[in-house]
């Protein structure tokens, strides 16, 4: 057969095993067009079938369409059967492995979750399906609650509406953290074996899976409310948005249990909506995503805005700011993370006995603000820097707090070993409420942080590419012809993490150090077609206002030159 005949045969074979009427119909139309000589349709088939959507440490994530390089019921069936085989392989003799499965409000999330439950049960794995669509942190909690061997969360988090994903957690000694190497490669090998040896309709299924009761949700709510009960006294006026996701039902219960008054809601975004109709991207970091929240806050005179992403594992905070046209400013992930880290350090110091050093470790990813190390050192706490992602942060030994600049925070590692936008929201609300009752707002807290630890500033540049190959090409060019100066400062050292660096595992990251103390990190996004550049500067010259001005000017100069460097 010719290459095009092989492609059509591969697509037709996939079509024959696809149980989904919608993806089957769109693939059949595409095959017919390609068979008739349509070059565009043929190119589309190549994109869908020349490779597979790879199962890695982020699980699976991609556009919902037919094909091996897309998210669909065939691919999910293969992934579920492969994960089941891995769990059975890892189980002790005579022990039945178990998996708990959650899902959010995205298109096909419930379908993919039910498929997973049936295939797990059919493979002899105890499968527990959460009772309804729920936030990702509830699934991460449920892995430990049920003492399950593994967990699966069907979500694409804050990706575009057409995407969905498949995130895997491990129980036991992993304590409900996301998978890392070598588990990811072992699971991927089982998936590949099943993909070439069995058709999706032939995989054994069973409806003898369990549906969890409300007790798991109740337990999560109780544990999360205990993170920061409302201080007695006047409370803040709060606006909340779920960003068309699944966060509100659970967040509402947590806030009520913790004693906080009900917030004002961004009603247009409060119910789950897989089309995410009011935003271009359902990510609180994206420009315009919080516009409706700002409008609601202006109307209500809110003191603080709390926003979750669609699966509620991330948190965004915005505060009043008269210099902004909207009247509000979204805090950066570093600003929120450093205030929460300071909170955790103060709590650890308060728990220390006598002159003994406090116990615990503050952890953050390599692209997050280096100021957390300063906080840890000031409070005589341990500090650990990890690769990007909570699959690494959550595994820091002795951690009492962890964060990454992409709006992810882990404030209660004894309960959830993943970023949790709901527990972080409660922790931050407790922090802000206590400050307000003492006559200080969040902006004042940030000023006091700078006075205590120095002025740190961070910026992030995200370049989105239509062609994924461009990302690799840019990284290769930077390795071959690295810059010697950036914005007038000499590059004194470059750390290439591609083969690992010191205690860090291998990662496609370049870290540049400049002679003025600036740190620049460049890496591909793990979840989106983006190249990300992270910039961190600091200043200790002059008073607080002078330091802030120096940091702002330096960040502006660096942004302009670094954008040109990676474009």
Catalytic residue ranges: 157
Tell me the DSSP string of 451-508.
HHH-EEEEEEEEEE-SSTHHHHHHHHHHHHS--SEETTEEEEEEEEGGG-BTTBPP-S
- CA dist., res. 278 & res. 288, Å (int): 9
**In Å, how far are 83, 89, 98, 102, 342 from 123, measured between CA atoms?**
10, 12, 11, 19, 47
Answer for the pair 180, 386: CB distance below 8 angstroms, yes or no: no
Which 8-state DSSP code applies to residue 313?
A: -
Core vs surface per residue 90-118: b (16+ CB within 10 A) or e: beeeeeebbbbbbbbbbbbbbbbbbbbbb
First to last CA, the chain: 41
- CA dist., res. 516 & res. 554, Å (int): 10
- CA dist., res. 340 & res. 402, Å (int): 9
Task: Residue 321: count other Cβ atoms within 10 Å of its Cβ.
Answer: 14
- CA dist., res. 409 & res. 526, Å (int): 18
Report angle CA 413, 418, 420 to the nearest 5 degrees. Answer: 90
Helix (H) or strand (E) holding 165: strand 163-170
- Strand partners of residue 211: 129
Token pair of 498, please? 């591609």
E strands present in 332-450:
361-365, 382-386, 399-404, 408-410
| 3 state DSSP class of 2 | coil
**Residue 429's closest CA among 218, 246, 216, 257?**
257
**Sheet order of strands, 382-386 included:** 382-386, 361-365, 399-404, 408-410
- CA dist., res. 137 & res. 142, Å (int): 8
Using CB atoms within 10 Å of the CB of residue 302, give its burial: 0 to 12 exposed, 13 to 18 middle, 19+ buried. Answer: buried
Core vs surface per residue 427-446: b (16+ CB within 10 A) or e: bbbbbbbbbbeeeebbeebb
- CA dist., res. 230 & res. 38, Å (int): 63
**In Å, how far are 12, 312, 333 from 165, measured between CA atoms?**
24, 15, 24
Compute, in degrees rounded to 10, the torsion defined by CA atoms 143, 146, 149, 151.
-30
Which 8-state DSSP code applies to residue 59?
A: B
């Amino acid at each position: 057969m010719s290459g095009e005949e092989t492609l059509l045969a591969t697509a037709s074979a996939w079509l024959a095993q696809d149980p989904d009427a919608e993806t089957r119909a769109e693939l059949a139309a595409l095959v017919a067009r390609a068979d008739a000589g349509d070059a565009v349709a043929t190119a589309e088939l190549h994109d869908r079938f020349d490779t597979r959507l790879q199962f890695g440490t982020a699980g699976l994530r991609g556009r919902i369409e037919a094909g091996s390089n897309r998210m669909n019921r065939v691919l999910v069936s293969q992934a579920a059967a492969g994960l089941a085989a891995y769990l059975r392989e890892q189980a002790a003799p005579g022990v039945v492995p178990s998996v708990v499965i959650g899902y959010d409000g995205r298109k096909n999330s419930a379908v993919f979750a039910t498929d997973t439950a049936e295939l797990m049960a059919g493979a002899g794995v105890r499968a527990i399906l959460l009772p309804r669509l729920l936030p990702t942190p509830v699934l991460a909690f449920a892995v430990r609650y049920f003492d399950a061997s593994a967990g699966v969360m069907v979500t694409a988090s804050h990706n575009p509406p057409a995407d969905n994903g498949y995130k895997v957690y491990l129980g036991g000694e992993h304590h409900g953290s996301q998978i890392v190497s070598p588990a990811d490669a072992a699971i991927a090998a089982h998936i590949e074996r099943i993909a070439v040896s069995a058709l999706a309709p032939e995989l054994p299924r069973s409806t003898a899976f369990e549906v969890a009761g409300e007790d798991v949700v109740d337990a999560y709510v109780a544990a999360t409310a205990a993170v920061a009960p409302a201080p007695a006294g006047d409370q803040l006026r709060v606006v909340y948005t779920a960003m068309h996701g699944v966060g509100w039902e659970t967040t509402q219960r947590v806030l009520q249990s913790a004693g906080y008054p009900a917030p004002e809601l961004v009603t247009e975004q409060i119910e789950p909506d897989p089309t995410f109709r009011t935003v271009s991207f359902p990510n609180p970091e994206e420009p315009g995503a919080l516009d409706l929240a700002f409008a609601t806050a202006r109307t209500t005179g809110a003191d603080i805005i709390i926003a979750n992403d669609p699966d509620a594992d991330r948190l965004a905070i915005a505060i009043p700011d008269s210099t902004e046209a909207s009247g509000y400013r979204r805090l950066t992930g570093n600003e929120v993370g450093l205030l929460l880290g300071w909170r955790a350090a103060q709590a650890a110091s308060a728990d220390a006995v006598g002159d003994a050093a406090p116990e615990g470790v503050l952890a953050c990813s390599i692209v997050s603000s280096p100021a957390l190390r300063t906080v840890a050192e000031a409070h005589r706490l341990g500090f650990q820097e990890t690769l990007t992602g909570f699959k690494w942060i959550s595994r820091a030994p002795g951690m009492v707090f962890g964060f990454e600049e992409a709006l992810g925070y882990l404030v209660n590692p004894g309960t959830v070993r993943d970023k949790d936008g709901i527990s972080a929201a409660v922790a931050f609300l407790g922090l802000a409420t206590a400050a307000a009752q003492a006559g200080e707002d969040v902006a004042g807290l940030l000023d006091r942080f700078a006075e205590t630890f120095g002025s740190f500033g961070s910026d992030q540049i995200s370049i989105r590419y239509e062609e994924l190959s461009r990302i690799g090409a840019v990284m290769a060019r930077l390795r071959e012809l690295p810059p010697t100066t950036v914005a007038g400062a000499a590059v004194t050292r470059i750390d290439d993490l591609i083969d690992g660096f010191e205690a860090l595992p291998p990662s496609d990251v370049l870290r540049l150090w400049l002679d003025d103390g600036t740190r620049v990190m460049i890496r591909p996004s793990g979840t989106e077609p983006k190249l990300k550049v992270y910039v961190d500067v600091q200043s200790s010259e002059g008073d607080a206002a002078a330091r802030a001005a120096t940091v702002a000017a330096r960040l502006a100069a660096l942004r302009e030159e670094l954008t040109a460097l990676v474009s």
